[in-house]
Amino acid sequence: MGNPLHSITALFASPDALVHAVQETVKAGYTRYDVHSPYPIHGIGHSMRLRTSPLGYFALAFGLLGAFGSVGLMTWITLVDYPLVIGGKPFWSWPAFVPVAFELTVLSASVLTVVTLIVFYLKFPNNSHPLHDTPYMKRVSSDGFGISIQSDDPAFDEASVRAHFARVAGTDIAAVYYDPEMIDHGQKLFDPRFIGLLIGVALVVSGGTYIALNKVAFMEPFNWMMEQGKLKAQAPSTFFADGSGMRTPVPGTVARGFLPYAFAGKPAEAENNLANPLAPTAEVLARGRTQYLTFCSPCHGNFGRGDSRLRGQFPNPPTLLSDKVQNWPDGSIYHVITNGQNIMPSYSGQIGRDDRWAIVHYVRALERAQSAKESDLK
Amino acid sequence: MTPVTPGIPTKGTPFTPSSDRLGVALLAVGVLLVVLAFRVEPMRASFGSIILYLTMVSIAAGSLFLIALEYIAGAVWSVPMRRANEFLAGLSPFLILLVVPLFLHIHDLFHWSHPEAMASDELLKGKAPYLNIPFFVLRTVVILGIWALFAALFVRNSTAQDISRDPALTRKNVYLAAAFLPVFAITITLTAFDWGMSLEAHWYSTIYGVYFFAGTVLTALAAGTLVVLNLQKSGSIPALRPDHYYSLGALMFSFVNFWAYIAFSQFLLIWYANIPEETYWFMARWRNGWQYVSVLLILVHFLVPYFALLSQEAKMNPARLRFMAIWLLAAHVLDLYWLVMPTYAPGITLGWVEVGFPLVGVGMTFLLLSWKTKRYNAVPIGDPKLQRGLDFRL
């Protein structure tokens, strides 16, 4: 074997034997050695006279980062970015922050500490070590407790190390050789090839994610109901052949709660069969007045005199105060509003049934006001 | 009878040189003060008596829980220290003495015990099948009987093993533990509901039982740690490793956190829901000076013990553990004071009336320990796991 020697390893029967052997190894003056066991042994660091690991300070810093970061973020959101009253509580309600701050403290302290450990202590992504893939490592990662004393120790001498291990009851004493070309102790985090790999992985993952989410399995993002799967009034639609989104009802459609007007084009029957269902109360008259002024007054004039406001753009209708209209029964006036007459169209589409009867009452009131009798003044 | 391991002393060593006289003196002064308090201010003394009763329940029932936990989990490390818990569980049969004066003053304590108050209250009418005097007394007596029974059985098997060295007795106690743990969950919850929560009969919190359980286990751990440290000092139990102290400290530390977690959970839900019939309970503890007690409770029961027990060195330091054990016992009393006393009066009530109760508690515990240490070995010398427990390593 032309490869250089890395270390001499030995196994020990129990954690207690390991601790004893470590203490003896320290006493013997070795400094470049390492201890391996399948599980943490409390107090082994003390026996090895290791300095207290600074990793705890990293954990503290990351924990504080998580705590202050999350509280800061929630403070900014609730006070600056999007103040929202929730349950009548103050904007800055600290009890609600506690669970989030706790979780993020624990999360960032644990995850970032492990990342620190891997990057700075295990020299990630350097994954080669002479002890890997040796019978020694197979034992100490399952049921063995071992020490390896490295050849770069100032006090290293193969024969004396073997003698030392034998003296402290070590078994399976073995030498570990390594191939220098396979081993690189340097930090490879900033190796261009590693950075290139990271960028490549980032591109592939983000590209794949983009294609998967936008092309393969696209799901519409939530747009706050700005767009809804419905047609608005007057909007066009490609669904129907005529391109119109609005449809006319099927012929013969009847609105709920209403019967079609039975006397369309039959003024005589309307005159004989219709009676005003409303009593001429103040409310009905007020309603009739509003409706009259809205729909009737443009042509018939505010007082029914036939004095149109339309300035000759449309023929003036006859007065509503004539003897003919005054002698009409209510049903005839209702019929004219509903059915239309001469060039007056039907108003049944604009004015509701009860409103038409209210207008009839108001027209009666206008007639009486314009030709008041002596007895009305009393 | 020879010790299994050289250096393990057998019975006969007193708890502390003067624990007999100290216990009698404290108990005498305490009982005198308590009797006087009941004569002068019976209602106020009744409320103080509840705090004493619940503290002693925490020590006795919590110790039973720790014994059962050791058996059910097959724990090895705690075997050399188990007698401390067994001695403290010996308080169980004496709890009835503390509860009798409370039964006599039941109308001073519980709003629901007045039929005329129940008659005009729809909410209390709904709770009447549970909250009535006969059922209440029956529950308490049965629960105390169950605890006394299990304490007697656990300790009988354990002490019989000192002589017979029979591993089957350990097996028996494992079965007992399996039977006891669900019973413990129910009994400790009912005790918390009956003697703590029902003081405010309108108010309810489903986590209240867990809250009391957290304080109970912490108190039992603190009391057990204190007894272990004293037994060690008097030479009744052999030297323990730092690993044992670390485990005791770590358990106390974890239950300090568990208590804070449960206490905050109870507060957070009530604060969030903001329903008047729930929030008034916290409002009563945030007015008339109680807000200072509330803040003090967070400091005493959580922040100070948290930082005092945080580091590995602190958990392995017996002097620190002794101090924190006493501290946590006081913290639990403060916790119960905070739970119980706002019902007695809106303001803070503290004076000579309250002094007698801790004296009675400490006095009866000292007397009991002094009697138990004379009668029994301070180490379960017949336990098959003892040697492994003494060699315990983390």
Query: Is residue B271 within 8 angstroms of chain A, CB to CB?
Result: yes
Cα→Cα distances A140→A13, A143, A146, A153, B135, Å = 11, 6, 6, 22, 62
Are A30 and A171 in a shared domain?
A: yes
DSSP state for residue B381 in the 8-state scheme: T
- Domain enclosing residue A322, as ranges: 267-377
Q: Is A182 a domain residue?
A: no
Percent of chain B with pLDDT over 70: 96
Are A41 and A114 in a shared domain?
A: yes
Are A249 and A353 in a shared domain?
A: no
pLDDT tens for chain A, residues 1 to 378: 578 888 899 999 888 889 889 998 888 888 889 999 998 888 788 888 888 888 889 999 999 999 999 999 999 999 999 988 888 899 999 999 999 999 999 999 999 999 998 888 777 777 778 888 888 999 999 989 999 998 888 888 888 888 888 888 888 888 888 887 776 666 677 888 889 999 999 999 999 999 998 888 887 777 788 878 788 888 888 888 888 888 888 888 887 877 777 777 777 777 778 778 888 888 888 999 999 999 988 888 888 888 878 777 788 888 888 888 888 888 888 888 888 888 888 888 888 888 888 998 898 888 888 777 777 666
Q: Under an 8 A CB cutoff, do A99 and B268 touch?
A: yes
Mean pLDDT of all residues belonging to chain B? 90
What is the sign of the dihedral through the CA atoms of B193, B197, B203 and B205? negative
Q: How confident is the model at residue B393 (pLDDT cuts 50, 70, 90)?
A: confident
Q: Is B8 a domain residue?
A: no
Q: Which pLDDT score, from 0 to 100, does residue B1 have?
A: 39
Are A139 and A170 in a shared domain?
A: yes
Q: Under an 8 A CB cutoff, do A87 and B272 touch?
A: yes
A36-45, B45-54, B288-297: least confident range: A36-45
Residue A295's identity, in one-letter code, is F
Q: Is B14 a domain residue?
A: no
Query: Is residue B2 within 8 angstroms of chain A, CB to CB?
Result: no
- Domain enclosing residue B135, as ranges: 19-390
Q: Rounded distance, CA B191 to CA B169, Å?
A: 30
Joined together, the tokens standing for residue B253 give 């530390």
Q: Is B4 a domain residue?
A: no
The answer for A 57-96 residues in CB contact with B (under 8 A) is 87-89, 95-96
Domain boundary among A127, A144, A177: A177
Q: Which pLDDT score, from 0 to 100, does residue A152 have?
A: 85
Phi, psi of A175 (to 5 degrees): -100, 140
Q: Under an 8 A CB cutoff, do B272 and A95 touch?
A: yes
Query: Of B242, B268, B274, which has the smallest distance from its Cβ to A98's Cβ?
Result: B268
Q: Domain tally for chain A?
A: 3
Q: Is A62 a domain residue?
A: yes
Q: Which pLDDT score, from 0 to 100, does residue B11 have?
A: 65
Report the CATH number that the domain containing residue A347 is assigned in CATH. Answer: 1.10.760.10
Mean pLDDT over B82-94 rounds to: 92
pLDDT in tens, A251-264: 888 878 777 777 77
Q: Is B3 a domain residue?
A: no
Q: Is A348 a domain residue?
A: yes
Joined together, the tokens standing for residue B161 give 């093993």
Q: Under an 8 A CB cutoff, do B264 and A98 touch?
A: yes
Are A194 and A160 in a shared domain?
A: no
pLDDT in tens, B225-259: 999 998 888 878 888 888 899 999 999 999 999 99
Domain boundary among A112, A144, A177: A177
Q: Domain tally for chain B?
A: 1
Q: Is A137 a domain residue?
A: yes
Which of B120 and B216 is assigned the larger pLDDT? B216
Mean pLDDT over B380-386 rounds to: 86
Q: Rounded distance, CA B89 to CA B143, Å?
A: 14
Q: Is A260 a domain residue?
A: no
Q: Is A87 a domain residue?
A: yes
Q: Is A259 a domain residue?
A: no
pLDDT in tens, B58-80: 999 999 999 999 999 989 999 99
Are A13 and A95 in a shared domain?
A: yes
Query: Of A42, A95, A98, which has the smallest distance from its Cβ to B393's Cβ?
Result: A42
Domain boundary among A142, A177, A212: A177
pTM over 0.80: no
SS (H, E, C) chain A: CCCCEEEEEEEECCHHHHHHHHHHHHHCCCCCEEEECCCCCCCHHHHCCCCCCCHHHHHHHHHHHHHHHHHHHHHHHHHHHCCCCCCCCCCCCHHHHHHHHHHHHHHHHHHHHHHHHHHHHCCCCCCCCCCCCCHHHHHHCCCCEEEEEECCCCCCCHHHHHHHHHHCCCEEEEEEECCCCCCCCCCCCCCHHHHHHHHHHHHHHHHHHHHHHHHHCCCCCCCCCCCCCCCCCCCECCCCCCCECCCCCCCCCCCCCCCCCCCCCCHHHHHHHCCCCCCCCHHHHHHHHHHHHHHHHHHHCCCCCCCCCCCCCCCCCCCCCCHHHHHCCHHHHHHHHHHCECCECCCCCCCCHHHHHHHHHHHHHHHHHHCCCHHHHC
Are A164 and A204 in a shared domain?
A: no
Joined together, the tokens standing for residue B323 give 């101090």
Q: Is A300 a domain residue?
A: yes
Percent of chain B with pLDDT over 90: 60
Are A226 and A315 in a shared domain?
A: no
Distance (Å) from the C-alpha of residue A359 to the closest C-alpha of chain B? Answer: 55
Are A17 and A127 in a shared domain?
A: yes
